[in-house]
Amino acid sequence: MGLLKRIFSFTKPYKKTLYTTMALSVALAGLSVLRPLLIQTSVDTYIQKHLLTGLIWMCVLQLAALLLESALRFWFAYRANWLGQTSVNDMRKEVFRKILHQHLSFYDRTPIGILTTRTINDIEAVNDIFSEGIISITADLLTIIAIIITMIIINWKLTLICLIPFPLLVIATYWFKESVNKSFQRVRNAVAHLNAFAQEHLTGMYLVQAFAAEKREAGKFDEINKEHRDANIKGIFAYSVFFPIVEIILAISLGLLVWFGAKSMLNYQSTHMTAGVIISFVMYLNLLFRPLRMMADKFNTLQMGMIAGDRIFTILDSKEYLHNNGSYQPQRIIGDVEFKNVHFSYKPGVPVLKGISFKLEHGKTMAVVGHTGAGKTSIISILNRLYEIQEGSILIDNRDLNEYDMYSLREHVGIVLQDVFLFSGTIYENITLRNTDIPLSKVQEVAKMLGIHDFIMRLPGDYNFNVMERGATLSQGQRQLLSFARALLYDPSILILDEATSSVDSESEQLIQHAIDTLIKGRTSVVIAHRLSTIRKADRIIVMEQGQIIESGSHSSLISKKGTYYDLYTAVEKQVEKQNVEVL
């Protein structure tokens, strides 16, 4: 009940509509008993006694009742659905806002497919609570009650007789509800699997085709697809059995009605039994069965909506967002960086950084080197608070990172990641990240500084060139260059650069080299370097191994030490030489 209340709390801003729909459902329940009553009176009073004028009036009334009922029904359906869509729109907005602010570690644990399902499908299921669930169940229940009361008032004995097959209906409904519910859940799981599978394979199509795995993957897809079909067919079976059964039960009710009604009419046993009563009862029974038939289905919808609502609220209640407790919003920062005995882990119990300490003065460049998995990327992820450290402290301009307003901090700390991600949109939009406050001229200025303006101008449509999803239409080197422009645009005092390992052609290489030099000039830079030239130029180098700094110093001092750095450097050097020979 608490859950339903919470779902309905989203209708709060639209209270008026909620009350209107409630009032309408009461009015409709009342109206639904009116027309059979009019027919009964027409038959018993006007037709039997041949009163033509009265009969015409009854017809007019009948027509008026029909029109009124139709109008109200339209209004009710329209408003109830409007209420659903509007509340659900708010809910979706809130969920997406929440997702945007979740901690990155949340995404390390939660598959993307699940979140898509939450923001799209689950919320749609909640919408059904409004459009088909609770409001219409209430409306139906009111109608059923109104009809049964009217029938009892007209003739309670006949009512009881008509309702004899009701227990059968209850049993059939229960069976139907259970089996549909089960198959619905199977269908939902299958849909989630289909979604996840399709999404993953579309993203990884390159791999699938490169490794000629089409046949195998198609086979896997068939399995999931079959499960989806089977689950649906189970549900359809329940529907196909249930509806004829309800028809049979209705027929039995009608049969009992006609049999006992006609018998008592002919026997003159009851003065209450007239042709009009029998006709109106036929109508009432039809009106009664219509909502009953749909009731089980609606209860399922309600149940599904509640399950979905529960899942949505789990996300809304999650406390895993980054706490932006700091308030310091400097106009400009100098750029001194200090790590003091920093410990960090993505997962509790699996330390990734174990006591990192270093000091980097403003304007200097520090290169971070080390084997794969040593913790290099992790160092920079905690520097602009993408992740939270567990122990120690990080200081910028002698101030703890937590004292900074997070958004202000991120403006001053520019970042270029190892994997460049591009959204579908133009080059301009990708560089500004759709911040329309930044004029094109500013973007061009930055591009010229980086030396990539010419390359962009050569693209069809230059700055309006449409980058397809994930930058599919650009080479890796080109994508990197765009990400440099992104970082430089905000003229950050501190620059974090995770150089991509992949080698690019020599023209791009020169461009990138120039761009990197421009990027780090005059800024405090932390560079996870793979290029020898970048490493050599650094004022300071730290060598990482298994989450610790094992060596640190200048290039020449580390070379003369002949330790891990020496080995790493000479290995890379050899590789480059080999490649050059191959190229030549």
Tell me: does residue 221 bind ligand ATP (CB under 6 A). Answer: no
Stretch in the footprint of ligand ATP (CB under 6 A) among 166-174, 308-316, 335-343, 376-384: 376-384
Compute the distance between CA of residue 279 and CA of residue 155 in angstroms, rounded to an integer.
Answer: 13
Instruction: Note whether 480 binds ligand ATP by CB under 6 A.
Output: no
Q: Which two structure tokens, joined as six digits, stand for 107?
A: 């995404």
- By CB under 6 A, residue 86 contacts ligand ATP: no
The span from the CA of 35 to the CA of 26, in Å, is 16
| H, E, C per residue of 200-242 | HHHHCHHHHHHCCCHHHHHHHHHHHHHHHHHHHHHHHHHHHHH
- Select from 108, 223, 247, 403 the one that contacts ligand ATP (CB under 6 A): 108
Report how far apart, in Å, the C-alpha atoms of 533 and of each of 160, 418, 514, 527 are. 94, 18, 11, 12
373 binds ligand ATP (CB under 6 A): yes
Nearer to ligand ATP, 282 or 500 (CB): 500
- Nearest alpha-carbon partner for 483 in 533, 425, 418: 418
* Helix (H) / strand (E) containing 516: helix 506-520
Pick the stretch among 213-221, 232-240, 373-381, 437-445 that binds ligand ATP (CB under 6 A): 373-381
In the list ligand ATP, Mg ion, none, the entry touching 378 (Cβ below 5 to 8 angstroms by class) is ligand ATP
Beta strands 425-426 and 466-467 are antiparallel
From candidates 278, 306, 337, 374, binder to ligand ATP by CB under 6 A: 374
Our CB check for ligand ATP shows the closer of 185 and 548 to be 548
- The listed partner (Mg ion, ligand ATP, none) that binds 483, CB under 5 to 8 Å by sort, is none
- For helices 134-162 and 52-100, give the axis angle rounded to 10 degrees: 140
**Minimum Å distance from CB 499 to Mg ion?**
9
Q: What is the helix, strand, coil percentage profile of the chain, to 5? A: 70, 10, 20
Tell me the closest approach of the beta carbon of residue 544 to ligand ATP, in angstroms. Answer: 7
Instruction: Verify binding: residue 376, ligand ATP, rule CB under 6 A.
Output: yes
The answer to whether 352 contacts ligand ATP (rule: CB under 6 A) is yes
Q: Which of 17, 20, 62, 377 binds ligand ATP (CB under 6 A)?
A: 377
- The one among 133, 309, 326, 375 contacting ligand ATP by CB under 6 A: 375
User: In this chain, which of 189, 377, 408, 476 binds Mg ion, going by CB under 5 A?
Assistant: 377
- Please give the backbone phi and psi of residue 466, each rounded to the nearest 5 degrees, phi first: -85, 115
Nearest distance from residue 189's CB to Mg ion, in Å?
Answer: 36
Q: How far is the CB of 551 from ligand ATP (least distance, A)?
A: 15
Q: How many CB atoms lie within 10 A of CB 170?
A: 11
Q: Around Cβ 546, how many Cβ atoms within 10 Å? A: 14
For residues 109-128, which are near ligand ATP according to CB under 6 A? Answer: none
Query: Does residue 550 sit in helix, strand or coil?
Result: strand
Q: Does 346 bind Mg ion (CB under 5 A)?
A: no
Residue 352: name its binding partner from ligand ATP, Mg ion, none (Cβ under 5 to 8 Å by kind): ligand ATP
- d(Cα 392, Cα 467) in Å, to the nearest integer? 42
Cβ atoms of 535 and 494 closer than 8 Å: no
SS3 341: strand
Query: Please, what is the minimum distance in Å from the beta carbon of residue 205 to ligand ATP?
Result: 24
Environment class of 51 (CB within 10 Å of its CB; exposed 0-12, middle 13-18, buried 19+): middle
Whose Cβ is closer to ligand ATP: residue 183's or residue 345's?
Answer: 345
Q: Contact between 386 and Mg ion (CB under 5 A)?
A: no
C-alpha distances out from residue 201 to 110, 190, 195, 196, 206, Å = 18, 16, 10, 9, 9
SS3 320: coil
Among the listed ranges 55-63, 214-222, 372-380, 508-516, the one in contact with Mg ion (CB under 5 A) is 372-380
* 415-434: contacts with ligand ATP (CB under 6 A): 418
State how far the Cα of 249 lies from the Cα of 246, in Å rounded to an integer.
5
Q: Is 372 a binder of ligand ATP (CB under 6 A)?
A: yes
Q: Closest separation between CB of residue 447 and Mg ion, Å? A: 27
Among 119, 301, 378, 480, binds ligand ATP (CB under 6 A): 378
Q: Which stretch binds ligand ATP (CB under 6 A): 304-312, 345-353, 391-399, 478-486?
A: 345-353
Give residues in contact with ligand ATP (CB under 6 A): 108, 346-347, 352, 370, 372-378, 418
